[in-house]
Chains A and B, each alone.
Chain A
Amino acid sequence: MSNVLVMGIDSPTFPPEVAEGLQRAGCDAVRLVDAEAGEADLLREIAGADALMVGRGRVDAALLNAGTGLKIIARIGQGASGIDLDAARERGVAVTHAPGTEDASRAELAFGLLLCMVREIPRLDAVTRQGVWMRTVFHELPGRTLGLIGCGPGAREMAIIARGFGLRLLVCGTEKDCLSLDGLDRVSRKDVLRDSHYLSVHLPDVPANWHTVGREAFTSARKGAMLVNVSGPFLMDFDAAQDALASGRLAGLACCVDPSLVGHPLFQHERCIGYPYDGPMTRESFRAAALSAARNVAAALTGGSVENRLA
């Protein structure tokens, strides 16, 4: 019998097929700790665990030291998020994630934020409720250019939606499985930055990519460009983004944040939309990610091979 600890998920229970699959694989002791549980609770709970499934939250060296029996940390979601990969590697604990499970919901959110940013929906909603009948003018999307930074499956989902709105698309990236869609121009990163009215980040959320969108990117971007990033908060340099907004170099920003970034001064800027996102945000993506994570937990605990390793 194996002990599986689950932390940082929104629902009080797993989808039934996830719980059932784990049980069939011999993991009858599946315990959930609250997403907002204190550190002491977590340290106590992890002591007897063979596997950890994580939706969101930090998994640092201290937690790993307490989890001496851990064989695997399976992230319920895309990317490493708050998991200290080096610490896991040093202790011989495998870390996996669930790529692909959030592509559709992230693209929906990314495009939704793009439109809301162009049309200033949060600001207009606020002032209209305050009794101000404000006028503003904006651009329509057909004929304007959306640049995708990253060319994997997530970028592909975004491209499909964007094409339905008549946007011209440019894409750059080095990933092997570059998206292929008719009429899509793959160009250099420099060209994407220079020629795009709107930019959207679609890179894997791994430490190697953090701060990819930093000062250099904002300096190279077309003046008055707007940026969307829901692929991981740390893919973007927040301080550089704040300066780019303040100088007018960037005309709009919509980005995801984790709990550590809530209330960042960047979000006081009227042209900045922050959105809380630190793990699967739809029922559908959570289910797919939980199934993927459970598959890896079962494999790790029964000597099988795990997929989608980050460490």
Chain B
Amino acid sequence: MKKVLVNLVNYEKYCRIGCDHLSAHGFALHFNPYGRVYQPEELHRAVADVEAVVADNELWDEAAFRAAKKLKVIAKFGVGLNNFDLEAARRNGVIVANCAGLNANTVSEQTLALFFAVTRSIPRLARAVRQGVWERPVFTEYGGRTAGVLGFGAIGRKVAEKLVALGLRVVVYDKFPNLAEAGRIGVHVAGMEEVLAASDYLFLHVPYLPETHHLINDETLLRMKAGAYLINTARGMVVDEAAVSRALASGRLSGMASDVFETEPPPPDLALFRHSNYVCTPHIAGDAYENMEANGLATATIITDVFAGREPKNRQA
């Protein structure tokens, strides 16, 4: 029986269809016992005799691939591949595929939830009501204001659609924007500088790449509209957190919300935590029942396709 190591915690609980699919195709499932992401040494021990892996955010570098001597395929649960050395995968003859596109809706909902939370101070005011404190700020309506979306892939498009439904004017930047989608949704395509300068609310939906490392830094923050809000549900390292903390302190930014951190879990003394106009969630945007089931089936199908000699969907290496 071929062995599949499932690194994603809760796969057994929330991805029944995926589990059943693998079992029906003769795979024996082994689950991550730690309740968290594997550390490198733990991973290297666990992968020694497995043929396939359902990956989470554990590190897949040369050493990990070397440790996995029988490994044929890795199905990445979710989209982001920043924990993968894809060259090392190729060198070691391992196929890597992800679940591109599936999580777009759930991530866009989390993005909008964080947007509402930070622009209407929902966590802070809920806490005040709980503590018996009456505080009542005045806000600005969304209608007619400008939202900027950096990165117009599957998630950026879903976010843009929802912002349009809220009556916002939406400007988007992408290296290679899909103009048909821009026209269908009703957004303006612009240059990066124009999006930075025009946006009352700036949304980050770029992948993490060397070129997007600290895309939002002291300098880009100065080129943003004064008093703007920043929402990051992409990857933590796209943002220089220290620079954002300074911008929140100076009032240059009115608020920031994020589902992701430069280091996850974040250190308890993270400077951003000192700001009451900062809202965060623990990298949870993808964790919807519907998305777990969809990713569960997609990862299982990647694995069974490879063993049946078929090219898997969304192959990345």
Interface residues of A in 108-165 (CB under 8 A from B): 108-109, 111-113, 115-116, 118-119, 121-122, 124-131, 133-142, 160-161, 163-165
Q: Give the contacting residue for A122; candidates B126, B143, B265; CB below 8 A.
A: B126
Interface contact B284-A124, CB-CB below 8 Å = yes
Judge whether B231 is part of the interface by a CB distance below 8 angstroms: no
Q: How far apart sit A132 and B122, CA to CA, in the bound complex (Å)? A: 20
Q: Give the contacting residue for B141; candidates A10, A104, A129, A263; CB below 8 A.
A: A104
Judge whether B140 is part of the interface by a CB distance below 8 angstroms: yes
Bits for B151-173, please: 1 = Cβ < 8 Å to A, else 0.
00000000001101111000000
Judge whether B279 is part of the interface by a CB distance below 8 angstroms: yes
Interface residues of A in 254-285 (CB under 8 A from B): 257, 259, 262-263, 267-268, 273-278, 281-285
Interface contact A139-B289, CB-CB below 8 Å = yes
Interface contact B281-A124, CB-CB below 8 Å = yes
Q: How far apart sit A291 and B162, CA to CA, in the bound complex (Å)? A: 31
Interface contact B113-A118, CB-CB below 8 Å = yes
Interface contact B281-A10, CB-CB below 8 Å = no
Question: Contacts A133-B265, A165-B162, A283-B140 given: A125-B129 contact, CB under 8 Å?
Answer: no
Measured between beta carbons, the chain A residues less than 8 angstroms from B132 are 262-263
Interface contact A286-B122, CB-CB below 8 Å = no
Judge whether B175 is part of the interface by a CB distance below 8 angstroms: no
Interface contact B109-A119, CB-CB below 8 Å = yes
Measured between beta carbons, the chain A residues less than 8 angstroms from B137 are 281
Interface contact B288-A122, CB-CB below 8 Å = no
- Give the tally of cross-chain contacts (CB within 8 A): 168
Q: How far apart sit A282 and B110, CA to CA, in the bound complex (Å)? A: 24
Q: A interface, how many residues as a size bin? A: 35 or more
Measured between beta carbons, the chain A residues less than 8 angstroms from B266 are 128
Q: B interface, how many residues as a size bin? A: 35 or more
Interface centre among B119, B122, B135 (most CB of A within 10 A): B122
Judge whether B208 is part of the interface by a CB distance below 8 angstroms: no
* Given A116-B113, A276-B125, A276-B134; 14 other pairs, CB 8 A cutoff: A108-B120, A125-B281, A137-B10, A138-B287, A139-B290, A140-B290, A164-B164, A165-B162, A262-B129, A273-B122, A281-B137, A282-B140, A283-B140, A284-B143
Binding site for A on B (CB under 8 A): 9-10, 14, 105-106, 109-110, 112-114, 116-117, 119-120, 122-123, 125-143, 161-162, 164-167, 264-266, 268, 273, 279-282, 284, 287-292
Interface centre among B130, B162, B291, B292 (most CB of A within 10 A): B130
Closest chain-A Cβ to B149's Cβ sits at a distance in Å of 15
Measured between beta carbons, the chain A residues less than 8 angstroms from B114 are 121
Judge whether A105 is part of the interface by a CB distance below 8 angstroms: yes
Q: How far apart sit A257 and B134, CA to CA, in the bound complex (Å)? A: 10
Interface contact A111-B116, CB-CB below 8 Å = yes
Question: Contacts A139-B290, A161-B165 given: A121-B139 contact, CB under 8 Å?
Answer: no
Interface centre among B114, B117, B127, B268 (most CB of A within 10 A): B117
Closest chain-A Cβ to B251's Cβ sits at a distance in Å of 18
Interface contact B268-A131, CB-CB below 8 Å = yes
Measured between beta carbons, the chain B residues less than 8 angstroms from A137 are 10, 14, 287-289, 292
Q: How far apart sit A229 and B223, CA to CA, in the bound complex (Å)? A: 39
Q: Give the contacting residue for B123; candidates A104, A126, A268; CB below 8 A.
A: A126
Measured between beta carbons, the chain A residues less than 8 angstroms from B288 are 137-140
Q: How far apart sit A10 and B139, CA to CA, in the bound complex (Å)? A: 11
Query: Which residue in chain A gives the minimum CB-CB distance to B264?
Result: A133
Measured between beta carbons, the chain B residues less than 8 angstroms from A105 are 139, 141
Question: Contacts A275-B125, A276-B129 given: A138-B139 contact, CB under 8 Å?
Answer: no
Measured between beta carbons, the chain B residues less than 8 angstroms from A259 are 134
Interface centre among B129, B166, B287 (most CB of A within 10 A): B129
Q: Give the contacting residue for A273; candidates B126, B138, B142, B279; CB below 8 A.
A: B126
Question: Contacts A108-B142, A128-B281, A140-B106 given: A121-B113 contact, CB under 8 Å?
Answer: yes
Q: How far apart sit A214 and B216, CA to CA, in the bound complex (Å)? A: 48
Interface residues of A in 226-260 (CB under 8 A from B): 257, 259
Interface centre among A104, A119, A133, A259 (most CB of B within 10 A): A119
Closest chain-A Cβ to B12's Cβ sits at a distance in Å of 13
Measured between beta carbons, the chain B residues less than 8 angstroms from A121 are 113-114, 117, 122-123, 279, 281
Interface contact A112-B279, CB-CB below 8 Å = no
Closest chain-A Cβ to B190's Cβ sits at a distance in Å of 22
Interface contact B141-A164, CB-CB below 8 Å = no
Interface contact B141-A108, CB-CB below 8 Å = yes
Interface contact A125-B280, CB-CB below 8 Å = yes
Measured between beta carbons, the chain A residues less than 8 angstroms from B161 are 164
Q: Give the contacting residue for A115; candidates B116, B139, B143; CB below 8 A.
A: B116
Interface contact B141-A282, CB-CB below 8 Å = yes
Interface contact B131-A263, CB-CB below 8 Å = yes
Question: Contacts A164-B164, A262-B132 given: A116-B105 contact, CB under 8 Å?
Answer: no
Measured between beta carbons, the chain A residues less than 8 angstroms from B291 are 140
Question: Contacts A116-B117, A139-B290 given: A276-B109 contact, CB under 8 Å?
Answer: no
Q: How far apart sit A295 and B113, CA to CA, in the bound complex (Å)? A: 38
Closest chain-B Cβ to A38's Cβ sits at a distance in Å of 16
